[in-house]
Amino acid sequence: MINASPWLASGGIFLIALAVFLIYATSYYAHLRIRARKKGQRWKGEEERKRSAEVAKLEAALAEIDIHDIRAN
C-alpha cells in the first residue's frame, strides 16, 4: 500500500504557502490604496493615468484657443 502522508504534507505546505501569499498580496494592495487616498488621489490603473494625462493636455490646448478667433473665421 502507498503511504499517502508525503503527498498530503506537500499539499498542505502548498496550501499554507498559497494562503500566506494571498494574505500578503491583499494587504499590500490595501496599503497602496490607503497611501493613494492619503495623497488625495483616486486609485487608478496605469491606463487610466495615461488617459487622464492625455485629456489634461487636450483641455490645456483647447483653453489656449480663443473663442473669438474661431468666430472671426
Task: Output the 3-class SS for 10-32.
Answer: HHHHHHHHHHHHHHHHHHHHHHH
pTM of the predicted protein model? 0.42
How many domains does the chain divide into? Answer: 1
Distances from the Cα of 29 to the Cα of 18, 22, 24, 36, 39, angstroms: 16, 10, 9, 11, 16
User: Where in the sequence is the domain holding 43, given as residue range(s)?
Assistant: 5-72
Asked whether the predicted pLDDT for residue 60 surpasses 90, the reply is no
C-alpha cell at 3: 503511504
pLDDT interval class at 27 (50, 70, 90) = very high
pLDDT of residue 1: 47
Task: Give the residue with greater pLDDT, 43 vs 5.
Answer: 5
